[in-house]
Amino acid sequence: MTSYVTKAVIPAAGLGTRFLPATKAMPKEMLPVVDKPAIQYVVEEAVTSGLNDVLLITGRNKNALENHFDRNAELEDALEKKGDRDKLLKVSYSTSLADMHYVRQGDPKGLGHAVLRAKMHIGHEPFAVLLGDDIIDARDPLLARMLEVQHALNTTVVALMEVPPESIHLYGAAAVVETDDDDVVRITGLVEKPSRENAPSNYAVIGRYVLRPEIFDILEKTEPGKGGEIQLTDALEGLATAPAWTGGVHGVIFRGRRYDTGDRLDYLKAIVQMAVAREDLGPELLPWLKEFATNAGPAETAPIPTFPALPVAVPAPAAAAAAATPKPRVKTAAAKVAPTRELVPAPVA
């Protein structure tokens, strides 16, 4: 059944602090997963699901996202002159992938605030939200299934995934009631990052949503929650506990492959699994991985030394206090001596 949803929103304004220093000057969404940036996989999922109108919610220092989906005439010309048809097609593909739009979030006030910034672009129609950190393996379609459920029930749809109890505090957790469909549940309550003891279930909200436009009115009235941010989960909780005739909130339980590229270990797993699945890399990479896992000895698994910390000149507390106190200038023939400074090694990550 064809969905009425035509637009996708991808929040991508985060700082990516878990990947510093790599993300100091580059958006975390541009970190490569094999040979494509992570954000391209998310846009491709939207397009594959029939959503060709894509709005990225960005922030400062995120110009690389716009540049990636824009034309680079000089690069295309150089590749054409070299006769490198394969690379030219890849570059052109990312340019023509979707009808891309951009809006800055401004103050980072949480996911709910980022979604609210899409109000003018979305208007009065349902839309999808795909978090830029979450990559769903193309072999395990999730968004397309959510769009089917939204069309059939005319409801808000949230992606859920069962996680270990010790991990539920990292997610929004859903209280659910089963339906006639094995992979569809009705959500009766949501709690943002609960403790293990207070979690209503082990069903965690993951980064895919299909929302009705009423969510904007609710977000505008939602008070800041955990961390002083406007949480999308809090707004969805209001919908989930509303009378049934309003449509409520349903969840699609996902049992496929998902990678959180905002987590360093999951990011590495995504690279390995996607590379192994590729015809041009898998046949050579998989045997090497098996050999490495079987035969890796102390030399291969020894910790890699961290880069030697360079001494950084930092004013000592006493010197800093002295420097802050104005002193009369006295002419003297003695040589000028610089204020005392301690050499403090840079912290090692």
Mean pLDDT over 108-130 rounds to 93
Mean pLDDT over 170-190 rounds to 89
Predicted confidence at residue 125, as pLDDT, reads 93
- Minimum mean pLDDT among 58-62, 202-206, 252-256: which range? 58-62
User: What DSSP string describes 31-56?
Assistant: SEETTEEHHHHHHHHHHHTT--EEEE
3-state SS assignment for residue 157: strand
pLDDT > 90 in the chain, percent: 49
d(CA 223, CA 239) in angstroms, rounded, equals: 15
Q: CB neighbours (10 Å) of residue 193?
A: 17
- The hierarchical CATH code for the domain 7-262 is 3.90.550.10
Tokens encoding 246: 């309003």
DSSP 263: S
User: What DSSP string describes 117-142?
Assistant: TTHHHH-SS-EEEE-TTEEE-TTS--
Mean pLDDT over 78-103 rounds to 91
Closest by CA to 114, choosing from 159, 55, 170, 155, is 55
In this prediction the pTM is 0.82
Mean pLDDT over 55-82 rounds to 91
317 phi-psi bin (left φ>0, alpha ψ -120 to 50, beta other): alpha
The rounded mean pLDDT for the chain is: 84
Paired strand residues for 260: 134
